[in-house]
Structure 1
């Protein structure tokens, strides 16, 4: 199946595709990465409500599982990093929210910062995106985007939120 268009039936009948496509959010006809990140908001909220250790462990499981899930989905579709594979957005956004209170401004600005870094791919994100293959390659650029978004959100909280 090498076509870029993937049917809902394919996604909803295969557990690997179902997870890789973010519970179906990656089927969005435009901006599937953005829709995947939106679908990750409830999970990020849940993770932000946990202790830091529990959140770190859950994100680690999400990342390790994601490497496998994204690799298998990509292999089955015979397309490296299909746009509908959004599990990497889930993991990246969760990283962006690690350790932050589940307040609306953190959820919103983590979303904005993560999407900016994921879309524009500054170095080294772009390099990783072009040179690392397989499930690790699909995941790693978004994990780095999540770290960049985390750093930016931390600065935002220091400069703006803490002042109020």
Structure 2
């Protein structure tokens, strides 16, 4: 694996590796998701249309970035590639109520779905390759986390 300095000097790798967070020696996906939280707090301030546009752009660009990084590193879904975690978490937090409790809850839900990979996430993870596959399993994990978070918010309106 190239050095940290070499990897973060390349702008495409710098983004794909979550500003370097994916190079964490332990739990790079979790560290990458943590790095996505401050950016979410900025995104959350946007009007819904702008948030959705940013999410779409991050997803499309992410397909390219993840594909590029996978080819560069020689592993399609290398553990250091965490841009997909950023996007998945941002999807999970779409429509989330404001407050740190909800950020924590969304973080935990997204990580659980991303790690456990229930159907169809696991199927996509195994069958769909390249940048699209790297992004798609996290998009699905984000959508599942979004669903559970929204059901919780509806069932616990006082929280």
What TM-score, normalized to structure 2?
Answer: 0.96
Unaligned stretches of 5+ residues in structure 1? none
* Greater than 2 Å deviation, 4+ residue runs: none
Change in CA separation of 1:106 and 1:6 when aligned onto 2, cut-off 3 Å: farther
Task: Pick one of 142, 147, 151 that aligns with 1:146.
Answer: 142
- The Cα RMSD (Å) is 1.1
Counterpart in the other structure of 2:6: 10
- If the length of structure 1 is used for normalisation, what is the TM-score? 0.93
Deviations 1:66-97 (A, max 9, x none): 00000011111111110010000000000011
The aligned counterpart of 1:37 is 33
* Structure 1 residue 102, shift from structure 2 partner: 3.4
Q: Distance in 1 between matches of 2:2 and 2:89?
A: 24
Picking from 15, 28, 37, the partner of 1:19 is 15
Between the aligned partners of 1:7 and 1:91, the Cα distance in structure 2 is 26
Question: What count of residue pairs does the alignment treat as equivalent?
Answer: 159
User: Contact 2:109/2:145 (CA < 8 Å) preserved in 1?
Assistant: yes
| Distance (whole Å) between structure 2 residues aligned to residue 146 and residue 24 of structure 1 | 22
Write the deviation string for residues 114-142 of structure 1: whole angstroms up to 9, x where unpaired: 00000000000000000001100000000
Q: Which consecutive residues of structure 2, in runs of 5 or more, have no partner in the other structure?
A: none
